[in-house]
Structure 1
Amino acid sequence: MTGAPAPKFRRRAEARPDEVLDAALAVFTEKGFAGARMEDIAARAGLSKGAVYLYFPSKQALFQALIRRAVQPLTEGALTGIAEHAEDPAEALAALLRAVAAALSRPGALAVPKLILREAPAVPEVAAFYRQAVMDRVMPVVIGVVRRGVAEGRFRPVDPELTLRTIMGPVILHVLLDEVFGIRPGPEKGLDALIENHLSILLAGLDPGGGTP
């Protein structure tokens, strides 16, 4: 019948990849990439090792799927925000940063980035995959926004690639201070407040009427 709920076994099978990924995140967090075993992840998910391999052929594929699931909302939100304000470079940058704040503010959103920061030095392919999934997609677009703003006279003549680092630097530092070092601002000074404060400084600095670079 149309609209009838899916059979219970089908719903369960469709949910299993996410259950495996949840279990993998817990095991990777506890034991690291090198120390985690597929049988540990299977046990945490309540499945056999063979069942896990039906969904993910290797531990690396599992880690990549975990990264993909975590970063997709951030990447798509950032690109959508920029596209929706394509005619105004300043608004495009504002939309980008607000989308990043929204994505990183979701419960558990920082678990995977923290794991990547910890694992990347020992497992270079982790950093490479994260770069392909996020940085190689978003960075050229942001650089293009800055370049267009300069060409149209809306921004002062800044270096687009260096400005990208200026745009994202405060967000990365905020997350590092908060999540890695435990240096947390007051309750009214979270990521949303940081973004608005950063935008007020950033856009004033890019204003071509604000003086020489």
Structure 2
Amino acid sequence: MNTKSPTEPKFRRRAEARPDEVLDAALSLFTEKGYARTTVDQVAKRAGFSKGTVYLYFASKEAILEGLVQRTVEPIAEAAFETMTDYRGDPRPVLAQFLRAMAQALADSKTRAVVMIILQEAPAAPNISALFRKAVLGRALPAVTALLAQGVAGGHIRAIDPELTARSVLGPVIGHLLLSEIFRIRPEGGLQMDRLVENHLTLLFAGLEPDTGGAP
């Protein structure tokens, strides 16, 4: 005879969902109050758990922020790394795929909020800066640099500096976020991240067009 309670699967699912519930609570508080002014106690209360339950999953407030980065932002860098690694050919289609994926991700308010928390807190918190660099920039920038370098070597794009151009690939997206979310300077119609990326691609690809040796 099966003596298991019919409610057990529900409770198992509840336990498995707890880390995400903690992250959701933390994100709402970080957005409302700021990372520095939020405590683990407040996160626990917002999530409906005890402080001890939160510590079962996250050893510190910084670990909670790292969890948010791993859940929302790191997959973008991981996808870029996987797509660009060992790629050979014209880098422009891959760059377009990467930037459009970024635009789609950043159109989501939760993903955008995590990025903005990092950008706001990193200057005063070296540990936060280091975790974002390790999880995201430390993978995405080298991947874009290598992609551009092989494009130059293969004659698919003009002879640009791959490392500096990789910064130019990502820079407009970050700059657009800062203008919109920090300074509240937004295009008509809102964030318009997809339009920003398409406009950026038009300019970027024109600049990467191979030099045919003709007159300028």
The answer, yes or no, to whether TM exceeds 0.5 is yes
Q: Which amino acid aligns with 2:168?
A: T
Q: Which residue of 1 aligns with 2:118?
A: 116
Checking the alignment, whether the CA contact within 8 Å between 1:77 and 1:99 is kept in structure 2 is no
**Aligned ranges 1:25-104 → 2 under 5 Å:** 25-82=27-84, 86-104=88-106
Q: Hey, which bits of structure 1, 4+ residues long, moved more than 4 A?
A: 83-86, 210-213
**Would the alpha carbon gap of residues 50 and 188 (structure 1) be closer, same or farther in structure 2, given more than 3 Å must change?**
closer
Q: Which residue of 1 aligns with 2:146?
A: 144
**Matches of 1:167 and 1:210, distance apart in 2:** 23
Range 202-211 or range 58-67, more displaced: 202-211
Q: Give the gaps of 5 or more residues in structure 2.
A: 1-5
Q: Give the gaps of 5 or more residues in structure 1.
A: none
**Would the alpha carbon gap of residues 188 and 27 (structure 1) be closer, same or farther in structure 2, given more than 3 Å must change?**
closer
> What secondary structure is seen at the aligned counterpart in 2 of 1:78?
helix
**Matches of 2:187 and 2:33, distance apart in 1:** 30
Q: Which residue of 2 aligns with 1:18?
A: 20
State how many pairs are aligned.
210
Over the matched positions of the two proteins, sequence identity in percent amounts to 51
Aligned equivalent of 2:168, options 166, 169, 175: 166
**Matches of 1:31 and 1:106, distance apart in 2:** 20
Checking the alignment, whether the CA contact within 8 Å between 2:87 and 2:147 is kept in structure 1 is no
Shift of residue 109, structure 1, vs aligned partner: 1.6
**Would the alpha carbon gap of residues 76 and 169 (structure 1) be closer, same or farther in structure 2, given more than 3 Å must change?**
same
- TM-score of the superposition, structure 2-length normalised? 0.87
Q: Which amino acid aligns with 1:186?
A: E
**Would the alpha carbon gap of residues 210 and 61 (structure 1) be closer, same or farther in structure 2, given more than 3 Å must change?**
same
Instruction: Say what the alpha-carbon RMSD is for the aligned residues.
Output: 2.5
Checking the alignment, whether the CA contact within 8 Å between 1:204 and 1:210 is kept in structure 2 is no
Matching of residue 178 in structure 1 with residue 168 in structure 2: no
**Matches of 1:101 and 1:56, distance apart in 2:** 29
Checking the alignment, whether the CA contact within 8 Å between 1:78 and 1:100 is kept in structure 2 is no
**Would the alpha carbon gap of residues 148 and 133 (structure 1) be closer, same or farther in structure 2, given more than 3 Å must change?**
same
